[in-house]
Amino acid sequence: MILLRKIRVFSLFILSHYAVKFCIGGDVITASEYIQDPGSIISSGGLYRLGFFSPNGTTNRYVGIWHNKIPVFNVFWVANRENPVLDSSGVMTISDAGNLVILNGKKQVLWSTNVSTSGANAKAQLLDTGNLILQKQSSNMSTNDTTAWESFQIMCDTQIAKMKLSTNLRTNEKQVLTSWKSPSDPSIGSFSISLEPLNIPEVFLWNGTTLYWRSGPWNGKVFLGIPEMESVYVDRYTLVDDKEGYVYLTYSFAEVSYLSYFFVRSNGELLQPFWDENDKWWRIDWSTRASDCYVYGKCGPFGYCDAKKSPICSCLRGFEPKKVEEWSRGNWSSGCIQKSLLQCDRLKNGSTKAGKIDGFVKLENVKVPNYAIWLSPLEDKCREQCLSNCSCAAYAYDAGVGCMYWSGDLIDVQKFSYPGTTLYVRVAHTELEGKRDLRAIIAIAVVVATVIFSIGTFFAWQKSKKRGGKDGEQFSKASSENMLGGSLSKVNLQELVLYKLEELAAATSNFSDANKLGEGGFGAVYRGRLLNGKEIAVKRLSGASGQGLREFINEMEVISKVQHRNLVRLLGCCAEQDEKLLIYEFMPNKGLDAFLFDPLKREQLDWRRRFNIIDGICRGLLYLHRDSRLRIIHRDLKTSNILLDEELNPRISDFGTARIFGGKEDQADTLRVVGTYGYMAPEYAMEGRFSEKSDVFSFGVVLLEIVSGRQNTSFNEEDQSLSLLGLAWKYWEEDNVLALVDHKISVGCSEIEIIRCINVGLLCTQELAKDRPTISTVISMISNEIVGLPRPNKPAFPERQTTTDTDSSRQSQKKYSANNVTITALEGR
């Protein structure tokens, strides 16, 4: 019965990533004790299983190893990845020559360990480390068995604890990770990971023979190019240089029950999932897919990449673009060149006057360039030794490494939001003088601005007194009740432009209706064009409500602190007279809703584009929830708040109602419920409780809208009493989920992927927050890294809700606007 129950559960998800049949056995394979499909063996402690499986989208059979006690199925090692068994006739056994082999029904050898041993006394055993070993059994009871081969030496796409990513310094032989060709094909793909024994060791990710990403130098605890390791990986990884000429990277955990692995996807993304026992899901510790800056050499020689800037590439101080026209078009590969000759260069050119000596400019929190050379263990010798060496272009110091320097081009410099290394770049003395002049100008400007601000504040205070204090009370209330508990003093204005109202009025034709892009609960958005030709989007906050002021402060505070390719970018602001305006980069394709719910435009959204939009929204939410310096809950995620750029890439917008979580905070309550009907999680709408899981609920609604092309808030033709969630559940229960799919989509070979997305959408919209996955788990689900998806329960709000005004249990007064209903819930009195 147990076996039948498991088969029944997996049959419900036959379109999931893997189709697996289980058959329980021991932990050993011999010539007489073999595995025949669908059989398997389990390690003695029950931690790992070796058996036959089929990846998603194929009936080919492979032999792999996976975690036995984890309900979510993930294969981390595959034996016959290049030669599958084409049917269910496969057998894994010990050959007459003593090798572990896989045979098909015709007894043809499809895979072999290919080592020399004796078949009569050979056995294979699956250990509780996940390592499959082939041993020659000793005839002498006092002598240990000899290991002739082990799976840990033949790595696939995953490194688990105690595996070694290694390089032999004498022979240059390497143990590398190699990606699958695709999620349905485990044969060797384009991407590989290797440990490079440079002057200071680094991990390289290759796309074929092209360097695609690098970890930065190893400092004894972490790689300097992965700032997240300071909090995520400390004391897990070890780099060892043994006496046999091998350098290897390995890791282990004090608690055997802790499960995590390092893994390269078929698309080249690196990530480290870990098993969350509370949520029963694989969650993501770290991933390289946060921004385009992770691509090696994105900004060329002497350029640096900053994902928080637009454009993301800039020249190092003292340098300028080598090819200005290409640089302005967004092609930064040619990099930058020095503006002024260095002292050494002037002497080489025959100058009789060496002039003033060179100096260094400082760039903080960076990933240091490639090809670092160790110079000295002493920090105070770095500058002196670099300055005396004409070939030294830059230096840096790290306590774990010592002093490093670089000669030649500085390539792959990246600016971090997290703490990173400080890089000192050599420049001509003229650049240093310019820097002092700039500092003087900034100092004077700050003093003048302070005086003007003080005078302005005094007169504003006098004016507010004459008004009788009503407006002053409103401002005080709005500030004190700001959802972030902050004020404009917390907003990072360093990279924002302060626009004049007159300038914005001219850019938008005096905020004409012809330039209006849309209107939300807190104001309208206008298209504008500045005098320099740059197109912008101007969000004009409504002056009619206290929420307008709260949103202005709130949005400034949140968005000034985060930057990601799937978040809309704030360019500047304006606060003059009674006007409050936010200026964003212009998104030519407006909101996702403008495409998705338009009968003509949505034809442009084929399934591949829709899936890319889903993935992009996930990445943006993951950044907000986990990968940014702050933990941010959006609270109003909906299709109209997903903007599309010129390539239809999604950008999450509208952070006016967002909330920053601090420290260990994972949920909060509010008396002021703000959001949009149809997208709000039940615990938030009914009780004012919000968390990451309430954003996940909203995402689930958006996902189902993208798949179906229908709004959750609109009536549906099949049953006008059902919401979109209810309709999705109805089709799920009827085993007819493809009926939900937008008829504009050609399902074809994407059927499995679409069904998986509907499954995930229903899991995200579960009634109870604890039953919903985290956004990191969602990413793993839709990208086929988590398989055998759980069956969802009935989602929340399956029936359509009326828009009648009602009093909530928290004594909130709710006002609904038509169709895309925005809830503005005022505090209880």
Q: Per-residue pLDDT tens for 565-578? A: 899 888 888 888 77
For residue 539, say whether it is annotated as part of any ligand binding site: yes
DSSP SS3 for 43 = coil
Q: What homologous superfamily is domain 472-586 in, according to CATH? A: Phosphorylase Kinase; domain 1 (3.30.200.20)
How many Å apart are CA 282 and CA 790, to the nearest integer? 13
Q: What pLDDT is recorded for position 518?
A: 78
CA distance 398 to 387: 18
| Domains of the chain by residue range | 1-153, 155-289, 293-427, 472-586, 589-824
Q: What is the DSSP string of 394-447?
A: EEEEETTTEEEEEES----EEE-SS--EEEEEEE-HHHHHHHHHHHHHHHHHHH
For the entire predicted model, the pTM comes to: 0.58
Q: Is the peptide bond before 38 cis (omega within 30 degrees of 0)?
A: yes
* DSSP H or E run through 314: strand 313-315
* Predicted pLDDT of residue 16: 37
Architecture of domain 155-289: Orthogonal Prism (2.90)
Q: Which CATH class name applies to 589-824?
A: mainly alpha
Per annotation, catalytic residue among 306, 593, 636, 654: 636
- With CA atoms as reference, report the closest residue to 61 among 3, 17, 27, 20: 20
CB atoms within 10 A of CB 743: 9
Q: Which CATH superfamily is domain 1-153 in?
A: Bulb-type lectin domain (2.90.10.10)
pLDDT for the residue numbered 58: 87
Measured distance CA(392)–CA(381) in Å, rounded: 14
Chain center to CA of 630: 14
Backbone φ and ψ of 127, nearest 5°: -90, 165
Which segments of the chain have a pLDDT < 50?
1-24, 231-235, 436, 461, 464-490, 545-547, 663-665, 668, 671, 715-716, 802-829
> Both ends of the chain: CA-CA distance in Å?
59
Judge whether 279 counts as a catalytic residue: no
- How far is 333 from 328, CA to CA, in rounded Å? 12
CB 219 within 8 A of CB 398: yes
Per-residue confidence (pLDDT) for residue 446, from 0 to 100:
56
Tens digits of residue pLDDT in 737-758: 999 999 888 776 678 889 999 9
C-alpha to C-alpha distance for 50 and 28, rounded to whole angstroms: 10
Q: Which pLDDT value is given to residue 176?
A: 94
Fold match, 1-153 / 589-824: no
